[in-house]
Amino acid sequence: MLADLARLLLDAVAPRRCAGCDAISREPICPECIAQLAAMPVPRPRPIAFGAAFAGFEFEDLVRAILHRGKYGSDPAALRAIATLTSRRIGGQSGAPPAPDGIVAVPLGPRRRRQRGYNQADVIARVLAGARSAPVLDGLRRMRETTPQSVRDQPGRRRNVAGAFAWKGFSLSGARVWLVDDVLTTGATVEAAGAALHVAGAAHIDVVIVAEVS
């Protein structure tokens, strides 16, 4: 009740705005933007090391705006909203990934996590886990800070994240795992993280992301 009252007071002073178009909206993503997202095609799965990558959306302007609001604008509700849509779209396509034994988020380094207050991949992973009744496995660690991938070419991205991850949890022997992140570009980050899960014994690793850069 107190949380509802606080939300009403906040809305009166600073109304909630859509993460996609910035219009005043009762929901994190307004109905008009939801309709635009629903009309977008679902990308085909992309083969990668240890499995395949499944994206809910192409990394188009509207999707980019929502993810950027979620990552850099202190708006995890936007991430949860588009993660819910991603979960439905991936599950509704032919060739959908089989249900996982566990879901793992690509971790942030400590500095970036402090800056944002949360890991966007973890927010997305928890939505997917709730929809699939699967556990979130908190054993993947980023062993060193890496510079932003966006400033590097493809070979540089792979060098930047090589050996950057390690599994510190229980054995994943024989497990089917979903590895979750927000955006897939070259696949260098998820393949480096997936390599750590493979060493830990995971039998099959599918990558699930909100958006894919084509």
Q: Which segments in the chain show pLDDT lower than 70? A: 1-13, 145-160, 162-163
Residue 4 has a pLDDT of 47
Which residues constitute the domain of residue 192? 41-212
140 part of a folded domain: yes
39 Cβ contact partners less than 8 Å away, ≥ 6 residues apart: none
Q: What is the 3-state secondary structure (H, E, C) of the chain?
A: CHHHHHHHHHHHHCCCECCCCCCECCCCCCHHHHHHHHHCCCCCCEEECCEEEEEEEECCHHHHHHHHHHHHCCCHHHHHHHHHHHHHHHHCCCCCCCCCCEEEECCCCHHHHHHHCCCHHHHHHHHHHHHHCCCECCCEEECCCCCCHHHCCHHHHHHHHCCCEEECCCCCCCCEEEEEEEEECCCHHHHHHHHHHHHCCCCEEEEEEEEECC
Residue 197 has a pLDDT of 96
Residue 160 has a pLDDT of 62
19 part of a folded domain: no
Residue 92 has a pLDDT of 77
The amino acid present at 21, given as its one-letter code, is C
Residue 175 has a pLDDT of 96
133 part of a folded domain: yes
What's the whole-model pTM score?
0.87
48 part of a folded domain: yes
76 part of a folded domain: yes
Within 13 Å of residue 141, how many CA atoms lie on the same side as its CB? Answer: 9
**Residue 209 main-chain phi, psi, to 5 deg:** -135, 160
Residue 15 has a pLDDT of 86
| CATH classification at residue 189 | 3.40.50
Q: How many domains does the chain have?
A: 1
51 part of a folded domain: yes
87 part of a folded domain: yes
101 part of a folded domain: yes
Token reading at 67: 């993810």
Task: Please state, in angstroms and rounded to a whole number, the distance separating the CA atoms of residues 49 and 30.
Answer: 37
